[in-house]
Amino acid sequence: MKLKPIFAAMAAVSVFGAAQAAEVEVLHWWTSGGEAKSVAELKKMMEAKGHKWKDFAVAGGGGDAAMTALKARVVSGNPPVAAQIKGPSIQEWAREGALGDISAAATDWDKLLPKVVADVMKYKGKYVAAPVNVHRVNWLWINQDALNKAGGKAPTNFDEFFALADKFKAAGMTAVAHGGQPWQDATVFESVVLGVGGAKFYEDALVKLDAKAIDSPTMLKSFDTLAKIKTYIDKDAAGRDWNLATAMVMNGKGGMQFMGDWAKGEFTAANKVAGKDYTCAPAPGTANAYTFNIDSFAMFNVKAADAKKGQADLAASIMSPEFQEVFNLNKGSIPARAGVSKAKFDSCGQKSMADFESTAKSGGLVASFAHGMAVPSATQGAIVDVIAKFMNSTMSSKDAVAALVKASKTK
C-alpha cells in the first residue's frame, strides 16, 4: 500500500471516523510522571485520527526490559506497530529485516531534520523511524535553595563541583542524588569523561572506541574523578530509580544530580520552575559540548492495510509541530524538527536549543554512549558492566581502564 495519499485523506479520516481505523500498538518505557504525560499526547492525537491506541508500556528508565519484551514479540512473529528504539539499534533491527520503510510518509523530513538526526532515523537511505525529540544528557540539576545558600554559582569545572558538594554535605544533604542502576552509572561516567577530556577525547574514546584514547592518562583521570563523586552518594542509592533521585533534588534531600533533561520533565510535572526551584547547568567542564540522545519510534514490518495506515498516521503525528511542541514541553527535551516555536520553552529548554545549534557547528555535538546513540548494543553493554562494577566495588581506576580496553573490543 502506498502511504503518500494518506496525508491528503487525513482531514477526511478525522471527520468520517476512519474507514481504515487501526489498533496501533506502541511499545515504550515512558512510565514516570513527565514521561507518561508526554506519551498521553500522542495517544490523544492518534485517537483523534480514528485509531485505537494500545499501550505496550514496559517500566525501566533505560529500556532494557522493554527490549527483552520486544525481542520476544518479534521472534514470535507478532511485532507491535512501533517501538521506542534509538541509535545504532535502529540499524541493527533494520539489518534483520524487521523494520518497514516509511519514506513515503516522510517526504519533507530531510528539510525538517538536522542531518545528525535524520541519519539516525534511516537505513540504507530510507526512513524506518520517526524522531520525537533531542535530549541533552550532560546536564547537572541543582536544588536552587541549597545553591543560593552555598553562594549561588553553579560549578563550571570539577574543582568547583567538589567544593559545592562539600558545602551540601556540611549542610546535611546527600550532595549527589543518584540511582545505583548501571545505565545511571554510565550517564554520570560519560559526563565525567566529557568534562575531563573534552568533546574530541570523548568521541575518540566512547564513540570511535580508539584504544589509545581508552588506555590513556585522561581516562585514568576520568575514573579517579568518578571515584571521588562516589563518596558523595548516599548508601541507599542501590537500585533507586532515576526519578526518585530527581525527587531528592526537588525536595532538598539531595543537592545535585547528573541526568539528561528528562529530569526537567519531572520538575515541570511537579510545577517547579527553572531559576526559582532548581538550576540546570551543563555538567562540570562540558559547557561547550552537547551529548545528544534522540528518542524515536521505529516502525515494524506490518502487513495489514489498516496497520500500515495507522503507522503512517503515527509517523505524521510524531513529526507534527503540535506534537513536537507539547511533547517536549512535558518531557524536558527539545523538538527534533525545525519550525517549532521556542516561545513556550523555559530557560533550560531555550539554552538546550541554542547549544544544540552552536555545538553542531563547533564540533562539540557528540552522541550519548550511555543512552545507546554511539556504539552497538553488545559493546555498550560490556562497557556499562565495567562502569557499574567500578561504581559498586573497590576496583582501582587502573584496573577499570584495563577492563574498559577489553570491553571496548566486544562485538
For residues 378 and 252, membership in a common domain is answered with: yes
354 located within any domain:
no
For residues 48 and 169, membership in a common domain is answered with: no
For residues 32 and 66, membership in a common domain is answered with: yes
**What average pLDDT does range 328-355 have in this prediction?**
94
For residues 307 and 262, membership in a common domain is answered with: no
> Which structural domain range is residue 51 located in?
4-133+293-347
For residues 44 and 19, membership in a common domain is answered with: yes
187 located within any domain:
yes
pLDDT, tens digit (0-9, with 9 covering 90-100), for 244-253:
999 999 999 9
**CATH code: domain of residue 181:** 3.40.190.10
pLDDT, tens digit (0-9, with 9 covering 90-100), for 50-67:
999 999 999 876 788 899
356 located within any domain:
no
pLDDT value for 313: 96
355 located within any domain:
no
Question: What residue type is 242 in one-letter code?
Answer: W
For residues 249 and 383, membership in a common domain is answered with: yes
For residues 233 and 185, membership in a common domain is answered with: yes
352 located within any domain:
no
**What average pLDDT does range 381-392 have in this prediction?**
98
For residues 56 and 121, membership in a common domain is answered with: yes
Predicted structure pTM score? 0.85
Contact 130, 118 (CB under 8 A): no
pLDDT, tens digit (0-9, with 9 covering 90-100), for 275-301:
999 999 999 999 999 999 999 999 999
For residues 37 and 156, membership in a common domain is answered with: no
Question: Based on the structure, what is the number of domains in the chain?
Answer: 2
For residues 123 and 141, membership in a common domain is answered with: no
359 located within any domain:
no
For residues 271 and 196, membership in a common domain is answered with: yes
Residue 178 grid cell: 543518584
For residues 193 and 245, membership in a common domain is answered with: yes
